[in-house]
Amino acid sequence: MSEQIKAPRGTFDVLPAESPARARLHAAAAGVLERAGYGRIETPAFESTELFARGVGESTDIVTKEMFSFADQGGRELTLRPEGTASICRAYVEHGMHKLPQPVKLWYLGAFFRHERPQAGRFRQFAQLGLEALGTEEPLADAEAIILLDELLRELGVPGVRLRLGSLGSRATRAAYREELLAYLREHRDELPAEARERFERNPLRAFDADDERTRAVIAEAPRLLDRLDGEDSEHFEAVKSLLDQAGVAYELDGTLVRGLDYYTRTVFEFISDELGAQSALGGGGRYDGLVEELGGPPTPAVGWAAGVERILLALGEEPAAPAADVFVAAADGERARALALATELRQAGMRAELDLAGRSLKGQMKHADRLGARHAVILEGDGSAQLRDMASGEQRGLDLARVAEELSR
């Protein structure tokens, strides 16, 4: 026997019993987002590396450590997409969507790739669904985006959900604050872990994401961006909060929320679930008013979020379960072709119908029908007659084959 090949670390297979829960999530997302007028967009699974380097930020963990990058046969530098927003901004510019009535409202669902340390709820290939509203700076768009993720999590019944909300201000505010924070971190340089100092020099806001004790102690006393918002930023943030209040969406103000991507401005938020362990983030996002321009487009304020499909499924904690057949068509030898024809007819009538494909005896077929959880079995006898069996009660009666579909849908 040859040596067995396993799936790469940090990846997983979605088995048939696990797919109904996923399909429900996909359908719920499509329902909630399409009812709000967001259209689905699909972008390639890989892009030019340059897109993420510029779009996500050179000093972010994603770009420095987590990208699956490679050169193709023609020497082009490519990267498996680690997130969706940069691609969508690229597509927005590439397809001239800035000429459409604004905002352009898009949603997506697909696979993303990050070279992270695999653990519960953290994979190297995972699915995200997300939304972007491009071409508006109205607080209404921020509030709508948040309300839609809230609604989706509610509709799915995700337990223990909390919303953390903050604002990073405009780029100018953030730049000034960055200097203030940098000065503060330099003052406390000796208290910080040596290996983190260089990183904070490049991007001091990252210190808020750190999970080591020493950085946490220093950062707890640091000045907060929320206290530095200028007039317009502050007005924008107040408007978003007021809209959420009026919509009855509860949130916790969080001045330490910086998120792992460089492009955010003003509103940032994250939905977490207390049901999840260390990886508690269900999804998050915010406003990114400078990104489209950064990627070569016209100035285009925008807001969006991304949510982790596996995280939501984990929080829901549903047991895997393959859906049961409505009917199993069992057949005596010589009747198998008729069984296939009948199963086909029942499927066309909208039923989930199965038959034996493995040459089992009639007795073996009934056992198999039971294992499949079929509600009914139609038994085609060798003499041309047929029986209908209720699998739960064991009740059985003769059946007019011309009227099976009708009988079963009663």
Residues that bind ligand AMP (CB under 6 A): 83, 114, 116, 121-123, 126, 128, 260, 281-284, 306-308, 310-311
Minimum CB–partner distance for residue 299 and ligand AMP (Å): 24
d(CA 112, CA 123): 10
In the DSSP assignment, the letter for residue 283 is E
Using CA atoms, how far residue 83 sits from 54, 55, 142, in Å, is: 13, 10, 20
d(CA 342, CA 234) in angstroms, rounded, equals: 67
DSSP, collapsed to helix, strand or coil, labels residue 257 as coil
Looking at this protein, which amino acid is placed at residue 229? L
Nearest distance in Å: CB 123, ligand AMP: 4
CA distance 130 to 107: 5
3-state secondary structure of 284: strand
DSSP string, 369-405: HHHTT-SEEEEE-TTS-EEEEETTT--EEE--GGGHH
11 vs 19, which CB is nearer to ligand AMP?
Answer: 11
Residues 6+ apart with CB under 8 A from 409: 349, 350, 351
Spatial distance between the Cα atoms of 137 and 301, rounded to a whole number of angstroms: 5
C-beta of 21: minimal distance to ligand AMP in Å? 16
Kind of pairing, strands 302-308 and 125-134? antiparallel
In the sheet that holds 77-80, the strands lie side by side as: 46-48, 77-80, 69-71
Shorter beta-carbon distance to ligand AMP: residue 92 or 305: 305
The least distance separating ligand AMP from the CB of residue 271, rounded to whole angstroms, comes to: 8
Give me the least distance between CB of 337 and ligand AMP, in Å please. Answer: 48
Provide, rounded to whole angstroms, the least separation between the CB of residue 128 and ligand AMP. Answer: 5
For the bound state, the minimum distance from the C-beta of residue 257 to ligand AMP, rounded and expressed in Å, comes to 11
> Which residue has tokens 């038994």?
379
Identify which of residues 290 and 386 has a Cβ nearer to ligand AMP in the complex.
290
**In this complex, which beta carbon is closest to ligand AMP, that of residue 129 or of residue 386?**
129
Nearer to ligand AMP, 255 or 260 (CB): 260
Alpha-carbon span 177 to 260, nearest angstrom: 17
Query: Under a CB-based contact definition with an 8 Å cutoff, are residues 359 and 318 in contact?
Result: no
Q: Which C-beta is closer to ligand AMP: that of 310 or that of 335?
A: 310
- In sequence order, the β-bridge partners of residue 304 are 132, 286
Contact call for residues 110 and 41 (beta carbons, < 8 A) = no
Query: Are 257 and 270 within 8 A, CB to CB?
Result: yes
Q: Shortest gap between Cβ of 390 and ligand AMP (angstroms)?
A: 44
Q: Quick one: 85 or 170, whose CB is closer to ligand AMP? A: 85
The answer to whether 145 and 95 are in contact (CB under 8 A) is: no
CB of 127 to ligand AMP, least distance (A): 8
Residue nearest to ligand AMP (CB): 308
Query: What is the β-pairing status of strands 161-167 and 252-253?
Result: parallel
Nearer to ligand AMP, 60 or 170 (CB): 60
Q: Which residue number, 114 or 236, has a Cβ lying nearer to ligand AMP?
A: 114
Least distance to ligand AMP, CB of residue 121, Å: 6
**C-beta separation of 271 from 150 below 8 A:** yes
Nearer residue to ligand AMP within complex by CB, 20 or 110: 110
